[in-house]
Every structure is written in structure tokens, then in C-alpha cells.
Amino acid sequence: MTITPKQYALTWYELLQDKKSDKNINQKMLTYLYKTGRLSKLAEILRNLEEIEHKAQGIEHVTVTSAREIADSEAKKLAKEILKTEITISTKINPELIGGIQIETKNKRWDLSIKNQLLSLRKQLK
């Protein structure tokens, strides 16, 4: 049976939460991954670990896409107004949006762009 990166991440997270666990758990986990030839899975394991930690803390990762560059603080403020929860953000630029923003979580998407508004208007006028 092959252990998935998500299973490694869950085990790593549980060990980090255990107060009785060895303080060198990170070093031991990395050594184990190296010795078992699974170090190439480290990036995926760490992505899963971050996701597990955020879920446990009630933090949601959000991607904010805008037509022009906006400050992270402004993007975070706009996203928090919609989601009403703690978030971490990453930003992207898509000039095709014309203006406005798109906010995406793992499961949902809010399209507040001018491009989307124009497409909606076009559908209504047909």
C-alpha cells in the first residue's frame, strides 16, 4: 500500500500537535522522507500540511484576480467583506477583466468584474 502525500501531511500535523512528541519532529520527518526515497513528494506534502493547518485554524485561502495590480491589504479587505472569515490571499492580474475583481476559494467563485457584468447585460438584452 502506498502512502499518499495527504496521509504524510496528516501524520506530520498530528505529530506537531502532540505535546509529548519529540521536538525534532520536522528533522525526523525530512530524514524519513529522504531515506525512503519520497523527498520528491515534499512540495505536495507541505501544500497538504498547510491546507490541514488552515482548516484546523478556520483560515481559508483566497485568490483575488484583478484587472490591474492592487495592494495585498486592499485585496484582503475586499475578500474578507465577502467571506467574513480569516483568510490568506494570493493575487493575480488578468487584464481581460477590464475592471473589478474575481475572488476564488477552493470551492467557490465570486465574479465581480466589469467583464462579467457586461456579459450578464448582453444576455439580458438578447
Does one domain contain both 30 and 64? Answer: no
Q: Confidence class of residue 22 from pLDDT cuts 50, 70 and 90?
A: confident
Question: Per-residue confidence at 89, pLDDT binned at 50, 70, 90?
Answer: very high
Domain endpoint, select from 56, 77, 98? 56
- pLDDT single digits (tens) 96-124: 989 999 999 988 999 999 999 999 999 99
Overall average pLDDT of the 52-73 stretch: 92
Are residues 95 and 111 both part of a single domain? Answer: yes
- Sheet strand arrangement including 100-104: 86-93, 59-66, 100-104, 109-113
Q: Range of 13's domain?
A: 5-56
Per-residue pLDDT, averaged over 66-73, amounts to 92
Name beta bridge partners: 60. Answer: 87
CA distance 95 to 1: 47
How wide is the angle at C-alpha 67 spanned by C-alphas 65 and 70, nearest 5°?
Answer: 70
pLDDT at 1: 76
Q: How many domains does the chain have?
A: 2
- pLDDT for 19 equals 83
My answer on whether 71 and 100 are in the same domain is: yes
For residues 44 and 64, state if they share a domain. no
pLDDT attached to residue 114: 92
Let me know whether 71 and 114 are in one domain.
yes
pTM over 0.85: no
Asked if the model's pLDDT at residue 34 lies above 90, the reply is yes
Q: Name the percent of the chain lying above pLDDT 70.
A: 100
Q: Are residues 121 and 66 in the same domain?
A: yes
